[in-house]
Amino acid sequence: MASTFREKFSLVVKDKLLQKKIFFVLLGLIIFRLLSTIPVPGVDAAKLAAFFQGNQLLGLFSIFSGSGLSTLSIVMLGVSPYITATIVMQLLTMIFPKLKALYQEEGDAGRAKFSQYSRRLTVPLAIIQAYGFLLILIQGGQLPALTTLQWITDIFVITAGSVLMMWIGELITEYGIGNGLSLIIFAGIVSRIPGLIVQYRAILAANPSVLPWYIGFAILGAIVVWVVVIVTEAERPIPVTYAKRVRGSKVYGGISTYLPLRVNQAGVIPIIFGLSILLFPQLILNILTRVIHNASFVSVANGIVTFINNGWVKSILYFILVFVFTYFYTAVTFDPQSISENLQKSGAFIPGIRPGQSTADYISRVVSRI
C-alpha cells in the first residue's frame, strides 16, 4: 500500500496537467469556504447554533448543503437546489417520453440540453427554499423581522449564492478531478472536523472518563467507513460472451467478459433527495401559514409540522423515502432495455438468456434484487 501511495504521489509531482487539475479543485473549494463565512445580515450566531443543535433534520440538511446553512451564509443552500432539480428532472423522464428520449437517446447534445433545464429549475427551487428557511429562522427568533426590501435582498443573495455554487461545482467537474458537487459537499463536511476536535478535547480535559467512549466511537466510525467503501465499490458481475465472427481468414469475438452492475447504483442521491422531500412540507406549510391567516388552518399546519418533527416519525419517513427513491433513481438512470440492445448490436449475449427482451428482463430482475 505504501509503495502504491508513493507511485501515485510521484505521478502527481511529475504530471503538470494533473497538478493544474488539483490546483483548480483546491481553488474552487477555497472560494466556497470563503463564501460560506459571509453571513446574511442580522444573524444571532449563538441562537442559530442552539437552534441547529436542537433540530437534527435541519442539521443534517446543513451538512449536505456544505455546512453553509448552520452559519446562515450567503451560500447557505449550497448545491442542494441543483441536486434536487436534477433528480426532479430525471424523475420526470418516467412521465414524459420526450424528456426520456432527450436524456438517454440524443447523445451529448441531448444531455447538455437536459442539464440546461435542470439549471433553470434550480432558480425557483432556490427561491422557495431560501424563503422557507428564512421564515423558519424568523419564527424561531434566530433572525429579526425583515422588511420587504430585506426579504427581496436576502432571497436574491441566497439564490445567487446557490447558482454560484452550482457553477463552481460544474467547473470543478469539467476542469478538475472528480465530481464537483460531491467535492463541495465533502469540503463542507470536512470543515466541521477542526471545530469538533477542539470541542471534544475540551470535554475530555474536563472529564477524562469519556476517553473509552471516544475510542469506541472512533473504531465504530472506521468500521462504518470501511463498510461504506466496500458497498460503494461492490459489483454484481453478469457474464457476457461475444459470438465468433469470421471475416476472411480472421476470427473475431468468442471471448467471455462480464457486465459489472454496481451494488449501490444510486449513490448518495436518494439520501439527499429524501431529506429535501422531508423538509419540503415544513417549508410550504410555514409559507402558507404566513399567507393564510386562518386559525384552523394554522392549527392543522402546526400539528403536521410537529408530527413530522417527531423523532420516530421522522426516522421512519426518512428511511421509506430513501428506500423508494433508490428504486426510482436507479430505474431512471439505469436502462436495462438500452443495455440489452447494445449487447445485441455488438454480437454479445448472456449465456443461457435469449437476446432481446429476455436479456432486458433478466438484467432488470438482477438490478431489482440488488
What is the rounded distance in angstroms from the CA atom of residue 304 to the CA atom of residue 113? 39
All three cell numbers of 183: 467535492
Three cell numbers, residue 296: 384552523
Report d(CA 110, CA 105) in Å as an integer: 8
Given strand 348-349, what is the order of strands in its sheet? Answer: 256-262, 235-242, 348-349
Percent of the chain at pLDDT > 90 equals 2
Mean pLDDT over 104-121 rounds to 78
Residue 351 vs residue 216, higher pLDDT: 216
Least confident stretch, 1-10, 179-188, 232-241, 308-317: 1-10
Q: Which helix (H) or strand (E) holds 13?
A: helix 2-14
What does the alpha-carbon distance between residue 311 and residue 167 come to, in Å, rounded to a whole number? 36
Q: 58-72, 148-162, 331-345: which range is least confident on average?
A: 58-72
Banded pLDDT at 58 (limits 50, 70, 90): low
Q: What is d(CA 370, CA 364) in angstroms, rounded to the nearest whole number?
A: 10
Indicate the pLDDT class of residue 97, thresholds 50, 70 and 90.
Answer: confident
Residue 251 φ/ψ, nearest 5 degrees:
-110, 125
What's residue 49's pLDDT? 62
User: SS3 for 273-300, per residue?
Assistant: HHHHHHHHHHHHHHHHHHHCCCHHHHHH
What's the CA dihedral at 306, 309, 312, 317 to 10 degrees? 110
Q: What is the mean pLDDT of residues 313-337?
A: 82
d(CA 22, CA 16): 10
Task: Name the band, by pLDDT with cuts 50, 70 and 90, for residue 67.
Answer: low
Nearest CA-CA partner of 73 in 45, 52, 53: 45
Tell me the C-alpha distance between 24 and 37, whole Å.
21
Residue 233 above 90 pLDDT? no
The dihedral of CA 100, 185, 165, 19: what is its sign? negative
Provide the CA 212 distance to its chain's centre, in angstroms: 34
More confident residue, 71 or 340: 340
pLDDT greater than 60 at residue 246: no
- What value does the mean pLDDT take over residues 107-114? 76
Mean pLDDT of 280-291: 73
Tell me what pLDDT residue 3 has.
59
- The better pLDDT of the pair 13, 187 is held by 187
What confidence tens digit (pLDDT) does each residue in 341-370 have? 888 787 778 887 888 888 888 888 888 888
Q: Hunting for cell 473475431 — which residue is that?
A: 252
- At 18 the pLDDT is 79
pLDDT at 71: 66
SS3 annotation, 141-204: CCCCCCCHHHHHHHHHHHHHHHHHHHHHHHHHHHHCCCCHHHHHHHHHHHCCHHHHHHHHHHHH
Residue whose C-alpha cell is 436542537? 54
How does residue 21 score in pLDDT terms, banded at 50, 70 and 90?
confident
Q: What integer best gives the mean pLDDT of the chain?
A: 78
Span 124-145, average pLDDT: 79
